[in-house]
Every structure is written in structure tokens, then in C-alpha cells.
Structure 1
């Protein structure tokens, strides 16, 4: 059956149609058999467009065809007069106009009284222009023209049912609404669906897919789906199994950290020795990491635990240690506490460089004099401050710059490496003080002279309380107003330095006979450079001396008891006391 201006068939009934869902066929068009008499007088407003089209067809000897009335040929019109024919045409156009007004988007259709569906295709077309809202654009171009039946093709939709047989169409589904699909809510991934199949299904209407038998009839898709179901299950099993393994590992690690013992070797280790360097300030975990990296202990936690269980474990000092590989943590702690395992060079406050060089040679397994020769040749590249070596008469450019401390010195190391570590630490220590400003405030030329005073204080002083008094003695004797010694220091330590000795009994004749710049009996003022490596106490004392007028001192017991005097008379009494104690 056709609609106004459409080919055979009809598009689906629109929900906004006033007749949608109506069980009968009641509208503005009367049923067949209830047509008004053609001779009746009915006045209906005519649209100009309809009149113009009607007139055009009359000029060509053609008669418009009306849907629901059958075809009107010349033979059928012969029984009516001209007036009846005109009334008949007016009535047809009026009904066509009323039906067109109710069909803004979709045309109304005629149905037989028995509710059947007319598919004969014998109805004519009303001369209306194409409807812009018509989605199918199936209006005929000419009167009586037949349009191709798209319902007869293979891909056609099924013909719509009459209103009495229709069911309400579902609300249009939004693209974000969840549709469980044919598998009752099962996700497409677990259903083994193919993304290509989904795309194909989206492109194909559901009704057409139902007629074709669904996905099962598409060339063996069912087997492929089962295979993908198996793959999906395998993936889920692997993910689930991996999760269990991860949880188990975390639980085991947590248990081991909380309750389990740390991994550890057994015994005193293998016969292979290894040197481990422990930096200054390293704690238990730092030491443990270095030992583990060297292959000495098996775990850091084992070493830390063993160190805490040993009453002397916290006394492990910085330096180099000769240990064995694969030792138990307890054995490693014991060996590090044994001085024999330490392969270090220890510089003590006031120690001269000559003794430090000899110790480095011994620790590194070098021939005697190797480190001293290296110091003389490479001192400029070892990190000395810019104000060092200001005097060309200095015997050793590194004297006073090998800071007291403990330094690793294991076999295989180079002497310049050990020396550079010492010089670097001394430069850092001196850098913490304003040596330049302090030197000028104390009447000295440069920071080097201040370090030299500190070395004298360290060499002559015996206790911490002596250092500040000894520093005042030095500054008082250097003053131009000194009439007691006339700016001569007269320190035995300077003479012992140039001699390389440590003798407290020096003959007066021998002292005054030697004119070396370091001899403070024969040369006024300070020696050219330091005579040893001062410690922090001596350095602080040189920066902050007493102001009690001390100018003389005597070690009355010859060892550790030093007494001070302000005048020459007091000094002579102290000297007699010293002679009595020494048996002279």
C-alpha cells in the first residue's frame, strides 16, 4: 500500500502520530462504504498549490488518483455529469489536505476494514511536493508513478504492522547506557567477543541479524568464541595466580623482616683477604653495606645485629680493615675490633711529617722514603691552601697540613692518595677559622705563622690547661718590647725539629753553635714554618691565649708537669727545681 507521494510500503509508525497505539482505524478519513454522496454540498478551503496542480492535470487530460478510493479512469467518469465530477474532485482534494496536515513527518496509511495489509500497489499518488522531513525521500515525481519496492530487497526491514497490531517501541538507548547484551550481563571480553564482530553487529540492525540466525551462523564464529573464552579464562587465571604469588612474597618478606633471622654466613670466612675502607662518621648500617658489597658478610641486618650484641661494637673506628670474605657477622665484628686487622695510618696531634711518611710506606708495602719523595714532588697538587709555603726556607711544604686522624692505607693504594686525604682534612679544619683576621689581630704576618704558633704550643705544652699559657708565652716573647729574651723564643722543640730528634737534654754550646733558621736560640721570631701537625686544642689555644703576663716556663719533672713564670727570678727558681728532679 502507498501513502501520499510515496512508493509502496511505509516507514515505521511515528510515536507522535495521533493514531499511534489506536486499536481501530478512526481518524479524519471515513471507512470504506461510508463515503458521503458525491452530489452533496461540502465546502472546504483549498490550498493554492493543490488547485494549481489540479488545473495542470486537467489541461493534460489526466485525473489525480486518491489513496483509498481506487483508480478513476475516463470510463468510470462517463456516468457523472460535469458538476458531479467537479464536486468529486473537490472532495478528494479536501480529504488529501486534511490527511497531509496530520502527517508532518510520516504519512497516514489506509487499511482495509478487516485489518489486513494492502500490498497490491494499486493506489495512486497525490500530487504533493516532496516532504523535506521525509527520511526516505520516496515521493513520486509524477502522478501515477510507481517507486521501486525497497521492502522486496534482501536487506530490507520487515514491513510495519498496522496500528492495531503494533507494540510500543522502546525508548531510544543513550550511548552511555549499559546494555548487558545477549549473554545476560556478561562482559564481551569474558564472552570471547571479537571487536570486529561487535562493530559488525552495531552496523547491522537487530531484526536483520535475527533473521540471519545471529552470530552463530557467521562462518564458524562459535568455535572462535569458545577459543577466546579459553584465552580469557587463562588470562584471568594468570593474573589471579600472579596476585597470589605477589601477596605471598610480601607476606614472606614481612615475616622475615619482623620475625625471621637475617641471612648470614657461618664461620670465620674463607682464606681470601679483602680490604674494606670505613669512612669517618659511618654508622652500623653504613659499615654493614660496605662489608656486604665487599663480600665479607651476607646481609646488612646480620652485621647490625651482631654489632649491637657485642658490648664493644660501637667502638669501631674509621679506617681500613683487612678482613676475610664470607665471614659470619659476629666474626667480622670481632675482627674489626682487633687492632691487627686495621690497615690504617693514624696521625696524632703534634706528630711530625717524617714519622707519618715512614708509617705510610710500611702500610702500603713501599720502600723507605717513597712517600717522602712523593710529598716533595707533588705537594702542589695535594690541595694545600693558597697561603701555605709563604716562606722559602720551609723544610717540608706539607708540615702542619697532615691533619691528625685515622686514614686508610691498604696495599695497592698510592701514597699521594693517602697524603691528599690528610691535606684535605687539614684545609677543611683551618677553613673553619678566620685565620687571616686572627693573625693580624695577634700581630702575625699571615695564617701560616698562626699555624706555626699552634705547632709550637702543641710541641711544648703537656696538658690542655697548658696550651693557652704556652700560646701567651709565644706572643709575649715575640713582642718588640720584650727585654727578657729580646724576641728570642729559645724553644728546644725547634732545635729538635731541625735535628730530627726529641732530646730534652741539649748542650748549650751545641745550640748556640747551630745557625739553622729553625733554631730559635740563634734566630729571632718564629721558625719558617710549622714544626709538627697541631691538633684542635692547640689551634684554639693559639687563637685565644691567656693574658696573665707569662713569659717563662719549665717542665719541672721533665715529663708532664710544666710551670710558668713572669720574671727571670721566678724562672731561675723553676730551673733549679728541674735540676733537682733530674739529678743534675
Structure 2
């Protein structure tokens, strides 16, 4: 195919000695290029001197080094022998690389499918390393393949029997139990036929394939139908499930919150704890069956632009979010009982009676009987002349009172709120700093400030008036407070025009016109502002005050105060006509 080969596979150039030596190479060593092909200055690139799997220099196809035909082993070599040794090393490296492919999982059938036009098997090998073309392992070498200069023929490698093509996974029938035919699954005719096929060595492959194809034909149709049905069910389920989750995702993220329609029916008592946000309140209402979802309630609150306070509410089942919010914001829906700043205990008791639906006077009787069991602080009720031990301890705030609530529970909740707010302040330390005997007296001062002051801006001046008048050596009032509010507390009234003879002649511990100093206890329930003002009064020298219209007028002397009193009396006469 390549013409008359020169030594070692080099095509000799016409008129040149194929064995010519390099003057710089006394042994005639031919240099090796980077791609592994032997080259010289007179020849084309040659091929490895291997013919049909036989190593022309004594190396067998399996890579075992041979020293046949009298090759020296003492390291001394003739030029031709050194040339052959170099070729041996080059060929051995190529064969070791080929063996690496064999160990990597190839089946070794390099001779299968050899192209007669490709004697070196490049196409069949599919990418053997460049410089080391391999011949088919099963092709017998030619009889005339001999070493140059030798007469002995190389031993012929026995030809292996051709291997049967392996069956690809795609050609094997499905052996999963789901795809087997009934007879095969039961171990019946299919297993028997397989045994018969294995035992009949004389049958041809064609008859085996024919029989298997006939057996599989009916089963394939059956399996195909079942498989199609199975795949259809899976696809329908996947599409249906995906659609459901997509719808659910859309509704959750972008759709309106689930909601009832209408005003609802029945009645449900709902308690919303302090500190609850809109989402928490909505969850409580949803659990009680008032609204369908927390989201519906939250959206309705945001639309209203108002704030739903914690507390007790009387609502209905299955209300729309908007209807629930509207009812909770209205007096009819919420069970709120509001204790205002300065509100007396008598008024609080009446409000509790009304909210809980009990007989008038019930809460007042419970307060008198259960005062010691309602959680009052240890410094409360420190005077035997105190009219009501709970006065000053029903803290001004908004309370939730359900229809069936017990008065004692409501009172206990209010006392707890007072204790919580009073505990934030150093009442005992402030009382001593201001010359008071106990925290209860500080609460009493705050109740007076709350009762006499008209606006919050009056509170600090009013507190100073109290402390200045309490001084025993003051020349203005001689230690008497002379507050109309203390007399009104005794009488459970709220009058502005009280005669001097009436008020000064009434003997009662709470009458500050009759007795010096503070009354035995608070005369109402002061708020936080009044308490803070009582702990931090002004120091401007105020002793007197009078309310004219909606403003308090303060004075440092009695003469100045009398001018304001005359103006007040004139207004009273004009108003009374």
C-alpha cells in the first residue's frame, strides 16, 4: 500500500542510502520527533514497524520484552541493534498506553469491524494515541513477516474466536415486574421456554430471536397499554396538582383574603390581650369563628384607618372583616369600661354594675367586703379614717368587661394596673423628699391636683400650692388646704359655688376647711400626669388659685387672689341671671 518499504518503515529517497548515518551520531541513531514517528533527512514520516500485531524486533503483542534471535544483553550494541532498541522502547510505550485502554473497560476486540482499507485500524480504534497505531489483535500475521536480516519466522499469535456482539440495554426487554406478562410474573411458560432455549444448543440465533419476539409481541402490547395508562394518570395528576398549587400561591400572595359576607349571627365573647397587633387579633377572631381569616380582618382595619384596642368584645359568628371592625369600634360591640382621670370609686362601681348586668350597689358591696383580697399594695389603707381603701387604686384606663364578668375580677384587674404603673415610680423616695409620710400621701396629693386642676399645664402649679399650704408655719392658710374638692368628695357631688358657712361648719376628716393637712386618703383616681406633677412641683411661691372659665388663675398673695375671687363671683351672678 505504501510501496517498497525501507528499513524501519522509512520510504527511502531514490539514490540515497536508507541506512545512512548522521556524522554526529556514530551509531546511526535516528532522532525522534515530538509525535513519535521516526524521521531522518532523507525519508518521509514512517509508521511503527509493527505488522499485523507482530513486533518485528522481538516484542510480543502483550508487551513482554523478548531477547530472541541472539540479541545481546550486556549493554553493548551494534549500531543497527541500538537503532532496533530505540524502536523497541517507542513501540513498548505505545503498547503500554494501549493496555491502559484495555484496563479502562474496553472489551479488547480491537479487530472487530476492521476496514480492509485501513490496515492499521485507525478508524476501528477510534482515537488511539498518535504515533502508536495498533493492528487488530485477532488478525493473523502474514507468513512472510520476518526481521530484517533473519531467516527465522516469528511465532504466530493464536487467533481468538470472534466475540458475539453484546446486547445493549435498549435491546433487552423490560424485566421490571410491572412490565412483565402474567405468565412471566407467575414463573410459568416464560421461564420454561427460557430453560428450553438455553438447553437447545443446536438451534440457531435466528430461531431464538424469532421465538422471543413472538412471545414478547403480545406482552409488549399489553405492557404498552398499561404503561400509557400509567403515564397518563401521572401526567394528569401532575398537571392537576401543579394547577392547585399555582392557584393557592396566587391566592395567598395576590388574591383577596378569604372572608365571610354579612353581619353574622349569634353572639361570641372575645378577649384580646394587651399588646396584640392587628394580625394577632385577626387570628383570635378567626379561631373563635368570627371572621373567616386573619387577613380579612387586617385589611378591614387598614381600610378603616383606626386602631382596635385590646379588651373584651361581644361579636357575632361568621361576620365579614369590615362588619367585625365596625362593631369592635362602636360602643355596642366593645365591652370597654373607661375609668377617666380623677374618676371616683363610686362612679367606677356604678359603671361595673351596669356593664356586668348586676344589681346597682353590688360592686360597691364587693369592694368593701373584699378590699383586702383584691391585691392592694402593702402601704395602702394605712389610715383607719379612710373612707374607701380602693380609692386611688382603680387606675384610669380602658378595661374590657364582659357581660358575665364578676365584679371582683374587674376590680382586681384595675388594682393590678395601678400597682403596675405606681411601681414604675419611686413613690417612697419622692414622698420623703417632699416631706410626706408615705407613698399613699403622695397618691393623695396627686388626687387633689387632678381634682382641682383644669388643664395639664395647671398641675405643677397646683402641686406647689398644696405643698406650700401644708407648711405648718405658713402665714397664708396656717396649714389648711381649704379645697372645695375634699368637701365635694364627702358629699359625692361636684359643686363650684359652696357657701363658706356651710363648708367650714362640716366636721369630717376629709373636710380640709375643718382639718389641717391632707385628708386620710385619695379623693379620686389620679392619672399619670397628675402623679408626675405631684412629684415635680414648681417653686414660684404660689399659694392661691381660682378657676375662671376654663382657666386657673394663680396668686402668691391673698390680696391678689381676692381680685380674682371678685371677678369669679361677678361671672357667677351673671350666669345665674
How high is the TM-score relative to the length of structure 2?
A: 0.60
Unaligned runs of 5+ in 1: 1-19, 27-162, 170-179, 194-207, 214-226
Name the SS for the 1:345 alignment partner. Answer: strand
Offset, 1:473: 0.6
Distance 2:173 2:544 in 1: 104
Q: Does 1:550 find its partner at 2:542?
A: yes
The alpha-carbon distance between structure 1 residues 243 and 541, as it changes in their structure 2 partners (threshold 3 A), is farther
Distance 2:250 2:447 in 1: 58
Equivalent residue, structure 2, for 1:582: 572
Q: What is the aligned length?
A: 402
Q: Does 1:299 find its partner at 2:296?
A: no
Name the SS for the 2:312 alignment partner. Answer: strand
Distance 1:395 1:188 in 2: 98
The alpha-carbon distance between structure 1 residues 507 and 257, as it changes in their structure 2 partners (threshold 3 A), is same
Q: Does 1:334 find its partner at 2:329?
A: no
Q: Does 1:354 find its partner at 2:346?
A: yes
Q: Does 1:288 find its partner at 2:278?
A: no
Equivalent residue, structure 1, for 2:264: 269
Q: Does 1:389 find its partner at 2:384?
A: no
The alpha-carbon distance between structure 1 residues 167 and 487, as it changes in their structure 2 partners (threshold 3 A), is farther
Offset, 1:432: 1.4
Offset, 1:440: 1.4
Equivalent residue, structure 2, for 1:59: none
Distance 1:498 1:304 in 2: 48
Distance 2:198 2:384 in 1: 112
Q: Does 1:442 find its partner at 2:428?
A: no
Distance 1:326 1:469 in 2: 54
Offset, 1:246: 5.0
Equivalent residue, structure 1, for 2:563: 573
After superposition, where does 1:21-420 map in structure 2 within 5 Å? 246-270=241-265, 272-310=266-304, 313-420=305-412
Offset, 1:500: 1.6
The alpha-carbon distance between structure 1 residues 240 and 568, as it changes in their structure 2 partners (threshold 3 A), is same
Equivalent residue, structure 2, for 1:155: none
Q: 2:463 aligns with which of 471, 485, 493?
A: 471
The alpha-carbon distance between structure 1 residues 556 and 230, as it changes in their structure 2 partners (threshold 3 A), is same
Distance 1:380 1:167 in 2: 112
Name the SS for the 2:264 alignment partner. Answer: coil
Equivalent residue, structure 2, for 1:500: 492
Equivalent residue, structure 2, for 1:461: 453
Offset, 1:231: 11
C-alpha contact (below 8 Å) 2:268/2:314 kept by paired residues:
yes
The alpha-carbon distance between structure 1 residues 511 and 241, as it changes in their structure 2 partners (threshold 3 A), is same
C-alpha contact (below 8 Å) 1:21/1:164 kept by paired residues:
no
C-alpha contact (below 8 Å) 1:393/1:517 kept by paired residues:
yes
Which string of whole-angstrom CA distances, capped at 9 and with x for unpartnered residues, describes residues 32-51 of structure 1? xxxxxxxxxxxxxxxxxxxx
The alpha-carbon distance between structure 1 residues 188 and 450, as it changes in their structure 2 partners (threshold 3 A), is farther
Distance 1:384 1:233 in 2: 80
Unaligned runs of 5+ in 2: 1-59, 67-156, 181-194, 201-221
Offset, 1:235: 9.8
Distance 1:244 1:497 in 2: 78
The alpha-carbon distance between structure 1 residues 372 and 245, as it changes in their structure 2 partners (threshold 3 A), is farther
Offset, 1:233: 11
Which string of whole-angstrom CA distances, capped at 9 and with x for unpartnered residues, describes residues 267-295 of structure 1? 2222x122333444543323322322232
Distance 2:395 2:233 in 1: 63
Q: 2:522 aligns with which of 525, 530, 535?
A: 530
Offset, 1:486: 1.7
Offset, 1:372: 1.6
Offset, 1:366: 0.5
Equivalent residue, structure 2, for 1:216: none
The alpha-carbon distance between structure 1 residues 248 and 392, as it changes in their structure 2 partners (threshold 3 A), is farther
C-alpha contact (below 8 Å) 2:301/2:307 kept by paired residues:
no
Aligned CA RMSD, in angstroms, stands at 4.4
Distance 2:230 2:368 in 1: 73
Larger RCO, structure (CA 8 Å, separation 6 or more): 1
Distance 1:567 1:186 in 2: 118
Name the SS for the 2:567 alignment partner. Answer: helix
The alpha-carbon distance between structure 1 residues 573 and 302, as it changes in their structure 2 partners (threshold 3 A), is same
Distance 1:410 1:167 in 2: 101
C-alpha contact (below 8 Å) 1:183/1:191 kept by paired residues:
no
The alpha-carbon distance between structure 1 residues 243 and 494, as it changes in their structure 2 partners (threshold 3 A), is farther
Which string of whole-angstrom CA distances, capped at 9 and with x for unpartnered residues, describes residues 151-176 of structure 1? xxxxxxxxxxxx9587999xxxxxxx
Offset, 1:474: 0.7
Name the SS for the 1:360 alignment partner. Answer: helix
The alpha-carbon distance between structure 1 residues 404 and 168, as it changes in their structure 2 partners (threshold 3 A), is farther
Distance 1:523 1:448 in 2: 18
C-alpha contact (below 8 Å) 2:341/2:526 kept by paired residues:
yes
Distance 2:158 2:511 in 1: 134
Which string of whole-angstrom CA distances, capped at 9 and with x for unpartnered residues, describes residues 242-284 of structure 1? 76555433311221123322222222222x1223334445433
